[in-house]
Homo-oligomer: A and B are copies of this chain.
Amino acid sequence: MDDDKVFKALADPNRRQLLDRLCDQNGQTLGQLCTSMDMKRQSVTQHLGLLEQANLISTHRRGREKLHFINPVPLYEVYARWIRKFEEGRLGLLHDLKQELERNGK
């Protein structure tokens, strides 16, 4: 997985909204997704392209339509490799901070 592409894809609120819409209803067409996005179809296409490059969605065509499906795996991997790491040290880190503040706040 390319961490960087995933993080960059998630950096834009419109792309997060697209994931949200797909979470509401998976397998939507480009046209359907466009109705909830305040921008031109071509722009939505670009956003979906970035999501697909980040492997956050997968697509396939049905006739003249293009269906979009969420792939939750990269999101979970971001959590596993990135967020959980800091979560584990959470108490320790807060302890360090507290100690430092006390040492200097006296």
Contact = CB atoms under 8 A, between A and B. Distances in A.
A27 B101 CA distance: 11
A106 interface: no
A8 B93 CA distance: 23
Interface residues of A, number: 38
10 contacts: A3-B16, A7-B16, A23-B93, A58-B97, A60-B101, A67-B100, A69-B97, A70-B93, A75-B83, A79-B83
Interface of A: 3-4, 7-8, 10-11, 13, 16, 19, 23, 26-27, 58, 60, 62, 67, 69-72, 75-76, 78-79, 82-83, 85-87, 89-90, 93-94, 96-97, 100-101, 104
